[in-house]
A = this chain, B = another copy of it.
Amino acid sequence: MTSATHQTPTPEQYGVGARFTLSVYDSDYVRIILEALGSADATDLTIETNDISTFITGSEQRVLAYVQSVITAAARSGAHLSAAILLSRGCPGELQCALPPGVHALAAAPIELPRSGVRARAHWSLYPLLDAGSESPSVHAASTPQAAPADHMTPIYAAIEQAKAEGVYSGSDHYATRLDGDLSSVLQTAANAWIGVGAAVQHVVTHLTVSINSPTIPGASDGASDGAAAAPLA
């Protein structure tokens, strides 16, 4: 309909970005968060921080490099921290997508992050969204049945197999897959599955809750410590 459909949209136009909340379990959290945000390279990114979370848009590689960098800097304080991270592609805008549903899904290159040296454990969920093929942006939507989008489960399972091969997969819990490894490997696994599914489905969101420096894991890379033995610090 518009000329935009004839050009490859930029990451910003396609809504590639993240929203994340970094929580620091330490009374000195203001300093730790401000220093971490200040230390990260914001080149080629649009970043907006408010009292709940920080929004970032740009290429997949730059967005994830920024998130990795902020969390790594905060982790080096030694404080226990958690990060709630949302990654989204294919639905720019706020309440309603600025792109119509059913546009051609846009592939992107997998990301690659340098090792952080920070051990992270995470719960990860990946959501290919219904609006991709069956929702119109109007209030009374979803009245037009369409063909199911291309296979989106294959890249999810491929990402899990990849995570197993890399030793990052740490099991599955209700509603989430557990990842455990270097922060960069954890983010790479989640982001590359999100990118992979996004090659077939327009609107894909993934959520991660990352835990770092938890006192229930005394630094050792000794695998999961679920259950009653772990102090309930969630």
Contact = CB atoms under 8 A, between A and B. Distances in A.
A140 interface: yes
B84 A21 contact: yes
B177 A149 contact: no
Interface string A19-34: 1111111111110011
B134 A142 contact: no
Contacts of A111: none
A176 B19 contact: yes
A123 interface: yes
A44 interface: no
A107 interface: no
Contacts of A205: 125, 127, 175
Contact of A52 (B54, B81, B148, B209): B209
A105 interface: no
A116 to B, nearest CB: 18
Copies of this chain: 2
A172 interface: yes
A50 interface: yes
A232 B37 contact: yes
Interface stretch (A3-11, A187-195, A210-218): A210-218
Nearest to A20: B234
Given A233-B30, A234-B52, A148 B151 contact: no
A28 B26 CA distance: 8
Given A19-B174, A50-B173, A131-B153, 18 more contacts: A25-B26, A26-B27, A27-B27, A29-B80, A33-B233, A48-B227, A50-B225, A50-B227, A51-B231, A51-B234, A52-B123, A91-B175, A130-B152, A135-B152, A140-B154, A142-B153, A145-B146, A145-B148
17 contacts: A17-B174, A26-B26, A33-B234, A50-B230, A51-B214, A51-B225, A51-B231, A52-B209, A52-B211, A55-B175, A93-B174, A127-B127, A131-B153, A133-B148, A139-B154, A143-B148, A145-B146
